[in-house]
Amino acid sequence: MKFIVLPCDGIGPEIVEASVQVLKAADARYGLNIQLDYESVGFDSLRDHGITLRDEVLAKAKTYDGIILGTQSHADYPAPEKGGRNVSAGFRIGLDLYANVRPAKTRSFLESNMKAGKSMDLVIMREATEGFYPDRNMSRGWGEVMPSPDMALSTRKITRHCSERIARRAFELAMTRRKKVTAIHKANSFHMTDGLFLEAVRHVAKEFPQVQLDDLLVDASTAHLVRNPESFDVLVATNFYGDILSDLCSELSGSLGLAGSVMASDDLCCAQAQHGSAPTIAGKDIANPTSMILSVAMMVQWIGDKQGNKALRQAGDVMTSAVDLVLANPATRTPDIGGTMGCKAFAQAVADAVKSV
């Protein structure tokens, strides 16, 4: 079992190392025989190679069972022509990691202090390779132009192929949960693009008669997610909507720092925390590695399911349970959620819990 590890920017190296520590504890318990190989991306790669993401790293990543990708400081990168390549987008497009799976679940220790006031247990299935992101919808260059200094245009691409495959993943996931899918769109305004997406979702729904399908306008969905989060199971959305709604849901369920995330193709899975690189706290040992640890656990579970490997599936489950066990104790929480424990100590506590949970 080989994983490629890419620490990247900001707090990325710290939280990635924390997740690796927990992964090694799971490896020791279940005998997974995991091999970890490291590569540089982000500012380290820019310094050493003149570009934040090298093509050879993408090619190398294809040969691994899984990818552990740290946070990136994309907003601080130089222009693309000067080496500032979007690392996450590069992986999503280069490796066709089209399914960005983002759960939002109220952790039990936060139930008395939820920001939405109600319990949440849902998953956003976000299409990640097209849509309103200018670096993902053209075969060459960016999908944005400026005809004049006072006018900028952005091109959006929605295809039936990408819409149907993300919908299929959403329905497959719903079959393992509460059998409900909500399609998020704005087809009343984007008649062709969102109309095509909604048409594709409805077409795929015919393959899953056991699953209830409804749909919501993206603006209305924000209100419903705040008012009735418990009514949602799996939400399927295009890139831009899914990105925004997943941050909303994660924060409402407790904290963006507690939300795991993976990016997956049909054959490969990449663990990446939902949140950003937080450069202002980098190196201070106060970052919360929960999101990264849960993301790695999701990746291990994904691979276990894909390979029919019971030990891998159990390892991912135990990593998640260990996080919940440590978070349940106020004395073993990081500063962002009211505790005093540092990133390294938190990782050690979770790793210790993996051995016995």
Q: Which two tokens stand for residue 44?
A: 């380290």
**Count of CB atoms situated within 10 Å of the CB of 169:** 20
Residue listed under structure tokens 């190398």: 60
CA end-to-end distance (rounded Å), the chain: 23
Please indicate whether residue 336 is annotated as part of the active site. no
Q: Is 350:323 a contact under the CB 8 Å cutoff?
A: yes
Q: How far apart are CA 334 and CA 345, in angstroms?
A: 9
Q: How far apart are CA 188 and CA 217, in angstroms?
A: 8
Please indicate whether residue 133 is annotated as part of the active site. yes
Q: What angle do CA 108, 28, 305 make, to 5 degrees?
A: 65
Catalytic residue among 65, 77, 186, 194: 186
Catalytic residue among 121, 247, 305, 317: 247
Q: What angle do CA 90, 43, 278 make, to 5 degrees?
A: 90
One-character DSSP codes across 11-79: THHHHHHHHHHHHHHHHHHHT---EEEE---THHHHHHHSSSS-HHHHHHHTTSSEEEE----GGGS--
For residue 202, the surrounding DSSP H or E stretch is helix 193-205
Burial 243-276 (b: 16+ CB within 10 A, else e): bbbbbbbbbbbbbbbbbbbbbbbeebbbbbbbbb
- Residues with Cβ within 8 Å of residue 131, at least 6 apart in sequence: 137, 156, 157, 158, 238, 239, 240
Please indicate whether residue 247 is annotated as part of the active site. yes
Q: Is 49:252 a contact under the CB 8 Å cutoff?
A: no
Catalytic residue among 48, 219, 266, 267: 219
Which one-letter DSSP state was computed for residue 131?
A: B
Please indicate whether residue 179 is annotated as part of the active site. no
Catalytic residue among 30, 64, 98, 133: 133
Q: Which residues are the active-site residues?
A: 133, 186, 219, 243, 247
